Structure 1
Amino acid sequence: MNTAVLSLDPVTEPTSDRRSTIGAFARDSLVFARRNVEHIRQIPEKLMDVTLQPLMFVLLFAYVFGGAIHVEGGNYREYLIGGILIQGLAFGLMGPAVSIATDLDEGVIDRFRSLPASRAAYLAGHYLAEMAGSVLSIAILIGAGAAVGWRAHTSPLEIASAVALLLVFATAMIWIGTWIGMIVRSPDSAQGIVFVGVFPLTFLSSAFVPIASMPNALQWVASWNPVSALVAGVRELFGNPLAPVTKEVWPMQHPVAASWMYCALLLAVAVPAALHRFGQRTSD
């Protein structure tokens, strides 16, 4: 009888333990995600970089600069929204960078380590909360775009592909921001690094003006800038105007494929780097 029981243990108990572990990890991740969301509820200005700032750019460029910028074969407001979406998600990495840096600086993560929860659940919850902010940003910007005259002109499948591309890009930005938050010395330095890095990348691209309007040297920079390919990929999937390609480089000739490749590369670098650095910062 005892032999029969022992022979069943290797079959039944690991499965039960594995399910219990997965369930506990999911519950812990949701608890950490709720913690981050509660912080946003208490301090709503934490969402400014993914909500009010992109919305301000939509109104500014659509109504102040829109009349002075000409886009061949289309409406500038429809041209603009793809650039604003990518810019807003790129600046969205500031949130996770500052949040992680703050938790490390204040010793919060060290206190979490005393809890009976997986260390990875903290990162998973952090990602879920930040992703919710990115989804909110996309929804707000698409709504604002519709209000100023933006429309999608492609099939539901292509529109869904555009949204999926935006979500994957948002995921890459969250993990890059997470990694930055772990390598900086303070939350203030995280904010400065993100601003200095993202601001020129988004403006030295096709996000707001056609590349043809730039000096020749900057046309080469903008053509190889991953932001230009991502913006062009989103515009193509939404059926919005595309500025003429001035430099015959592969990313601008195949922006959708290049966009997915850039996102995959960013994730392949950022996720392992963030996990490795997290392990270093939380090791005894």
Structure 2
Amino acid sequence: MTGQDPAAVRIDTSKPHPARMYDWFLGGKDNYPVDEEMAKQLLTVDARGRDMARVNRAFMHRAIRWLAANGVRQYLDIGTGIPTEPNLHQIAQQVAPESRIVYCDNDPIVLAHAAALLRSTPEGATEYIQADAREPEAILERAGKVLDFERPIALSMLALLHFVGDEDGAYELVQKLVDKLPSGSYVVLSHVTGDFDPEGAAKATAMYKARGLTLRLRSRDEIAPFFAGLEIVEPGVTLTADWHPELGEPVPVAGDEPIPGWAAVARKP
């Protein structure tokens, strides 16, 4: 495994971390009181936080299954999060055991659990690298030791970019990654939005800012440019729950209001 020795990693529990809050929303145990406290405060803004996490997770399952069925055998997953089975590599390798997967995250707790991400099939490979999404050059260099950048790669950024502000170059970092992908590659992206509740979105953003964290809830029109120059797979940029539901894993949610997230898969020509 590329990166630091898990035993030498210090996990900062003085402030919440998005990956650990996501784990809490999914019912996991790899989080701390500070994460639970923040997650519960977010539930006062939108009580369906758990539904949002589950819908996003189900989208990942469907998208990876679709990509694998369409011949993709390499994956670069940035913003991996704490392992929750089935992981991306398990879904991809169930369809095609020879698939190669590189995971990337900047939370030390993910590194501490990285062994769960490395249980590859004998025919394939999985690797984990510790790096920040805002360092695309470093990610590409290290991923190139496992992935063949002469062959199609699926770049996965699920529930990640709303934690990268415009001032940190969110659009630019995606473009740098896409520029290095060969023709026939794909981009898989999901993003929380404030389109359906601007007032609640402003409250959530303020909560994050008060804790020194970034939350940039982009509109559908602001998410579309992440796919500049790419061919978006039908049904386009759609509600996360509505992306090819026929591929399985419908997630029951509370109420009739849409889960506030957009998602899409796009191909590099």
TM-score bin (small chain): under 0.3
When Rg is computed on C-alpha atoms for both structures, the one with the higher figure is 1
TM-score by structure 2 length?
0.23
User: Which one scores higher on RCO, CA 8 angstroms, separation ≥ 6?
Assistant: 1
Would you tell me which structure has more helix in proportion to its own residues? Answer: 1
